[in-house]
Amino acid sequence: MTEVVCQDETRTCPMPEKDAQFPQPAKTLDCIGLYCPEPVFRTREEISSIPVGQVLEVLADDPASESDITSWAKHAGQELLQVERLKRGFRFLIKRLT
């Protein structure tokens, strides 16, 4: 089961279709409506809350999040499995390596 962490507990978090070629995320982090640098800060915090080898799904609509989270994952030693452009933002799958 995926745990969804919403920045606004009063709304339903968007859940995009899961891709069969990637592992099921251990947790989903909703950064919709948050702008730089908040999506990266929250991603850094949440990745440490899942076990090594598990996947964090991050949903974000800040245009800068594509380059910011990609760069963060590389520098943090985490594996960016997928970046998907959605109708209203991005979906990132990040595997915790350290």
Instruction: Give tens-digit pLDDT for 45-97.
Output: 999 999 999 999 999 999 999 999 999 999 999 999 999 999 999 999 999 99
Nearest Cα residue to 92 out of 16, 36, 35? 16
What was the pLDDT predicted at 3?
Answer: 43
What was the pLDDT predicted at 11?
Answer: 40
Q: Record the tokens describing residue 32, joined without a space.
A: 């919709």
Q: Which residues are catalytic?
A: 36
Q: What integer is the mean pLDDT of 22-45? A: 95
Q: pTM for this one?
A: 0.79
**Domains of the chain in sequence order:** 3-9+22-95 (3.30.110.40)
Give the residue, 2 or 68, on which the prediction is more confident.
68
